[in-house]
Amino acid sequence: MITRLKTRLLVLATVLSCTVAGVAAAADVKPRLIRFGYGLNDESVQGRAARFLAQELEKISGGKLKMKTFGSANLGSDEQMQGALAGGAQEMMVGSTAPLAGMVKEFGVFDLPFLFNSEKEADAVLDGQLGQDLLKKLEARGLIGLVYWENGFRNMTNSKRPINRAEDLQGIKLRVMQNQIALGVFNTLGANAVPMPFSELFTALETRTVDGQENPITTIQSSKFYEVQPFLTITRHVYTPWVVLASKKWWDTLSPDEQKLIRQAAAASRDFERKDSRADSAKAMTTLEQAGMKINTVSPEEVARMREKVQPVVDKYTQELGPELIKQLNDEIQKARN
């Protein structure tokens, strides 16, 4: 009886130890070093989420998959890093979808102005069919799209005047992301739109090479734009996401177990980042006010006027990106709205 119990316990103990230690051992995971680049500084939402991702990956891989993070565009601008990933010279990054539209034009949908009303709608589209289909299109261009992080609703800052109406943008040299739609939108609103990588932006604002820019308030805070931009205008004119990318060349050398761990850590980083971004956004307004920015919000009537003004740009790109895609997009937004 006692021996039988002993044997049973022994069997149980063996099974247990195999399942605990066994997962890592049985899984095909090799020690690897992954370089992860991003454009904002270490104190930004991007910086915090990059560190979270690195820690999570190290944890779930039993210390085998190590990630070294490089902020402040130290590995290059979003566009340069996209190229490095496609060529296999860098493993991973996070950046805006806007410059990706140069590779897969359909990413331009996220540059269409006044599309989403809330973060919830954006999440639904990004994590739903449309957002996921777009990620798959990246493979043909040498990139693996993993998850979307929140960048957020964009607002305008400048060094000249508060923007109460579209007409106030006249004569303002406004930096925009490197994307045809953004260029069209801001020129149509009346600004002189200047496409430029984010990595050059602070200096350009400081030296008055450009008068203004547009970004979510989290970035206006973390990048200290308030030091060189006295006016902040809340417009929420567009919600743009970030996307976590891997080099396909590199990805194809990973085992399925390694790929699974990276996908799992990326999904956890998405949830962490969105929560963090929303909490940070709620605090940023106060910080920017205290920093002395003059803040105004454009009226709903003026937003409606701006929307009308940019309609020709929306129509043009509806044709260019495909009316079916735009219909799918609007259907998915409606579904999330109801």
Closest CA to 137 of 35, 248, 239: 248
Residue (272 or 305) nearer to ligand TF8, CB: 272
What amino acid occupies position 224? K
Residue (219 or 229) nearer to ligand TF8, CB: 219
DSSP conformation letters of 181-201: HHHHHHHHHT-EEEE--GGGH
Q: What angle do CA 7, 13, 17 make, to 5 degrees?
A: 150
78 binding ligand TF8? (CB under 6 A): yes
177 binding ligand TF8? (CB under 6 A): yes
DSSP conformation letters of 26-44: HS----EEEEEE-SS-TTS
| Residues facing 247 on adjacent strands | 143
Give the residue, chosen from 61, 96, 218, 247, that forms a contact with ligand TF8 under the rule CB under 6 A.
96
CB of 240 to ligand TF8, least distance (A): 6
CB of 70 to ligand TF8, least distance (A): 12
Using a 10 angstrom Cβ sphere, with 0-12 exposed, 13-18 middle and 19 or more buried, the burial of residue 238 is: buried
Applying CB under 6 A, the span of 36-44, 111-119, 254-262, 318-326 interacting with ligand TF8 comes to 36-44
Length of the chain: 338
Residue (78 or 280) nearer to ligand TF8, CB: 78
Sign, CA torsion 297/160/114/266: negative
Residue (239 or 251) nearer to ligand TF8, CB: 239
Check residue 231 and report its DSSP letter. E
Give the residue, chosen from 110, 148, 198, 317, that forms a contact with ligand TF8 under the rule CB under 6 A.
198
Using a 10 angstrom Cβ sphere, with 0-12 exposed, 13-18 middle and 19 or more buried, the burial of residue 159 is: middle
Give the residue, chosen from 39, 71, 108, 184, that forms a contact with ligand TF8 under the rule CB under 6 A.
39
Radius of gyration of the chain from Cα atoms?
23
Give the residue, chosen from 95, 108, 131, 190, that forms a contact with ligand TF8 under the rule CB under 6 A.
95
215 binding ligand TF8? (CB under 6 A): yes
Closest CA to 92 of 145, 137, 30, 43: 145
Give the orientation angle of helix 45-60 with respect to helix 256-290, to 10 degrees: 150
Applying CB under 6 A, the span of 5-13, 33-41, 163-171, 324-332 interacting with ligand TF8 comes to 33-41
40 binding ligand TF8? (CB under 6 A): yes
CB of 151 to ligand TF8, least distance (A): 5
CB of 27 to ligand TF8, least distance (A): 32
Residue (39 or 131) nearer to ligand TF8, CB: 39
> Kind of pairing, strands 231-234 and 92-96?
unpaired
Check residue 299 and report its DSSP letter. -
37 binding ligand TF8? (CB under 6 A): no
Under rule CB under 6 A, which residues in 118-157 are in contact with ligand TF8?
151
Applying CB under 6 A, the span of 25-33, 34-42, 136-144, 327-335 interacting with ligand TF8 comes to 34-42
Residue (158 or 219) nearer to ligand TF8, CB: 219
| Residues facing 231 on adjacent strands | 158, 294
Note the residues at the interface with ligand TF8 (CB under 6 A): 38-40, 78, 95-96, 151, 177, 198, 215, 219
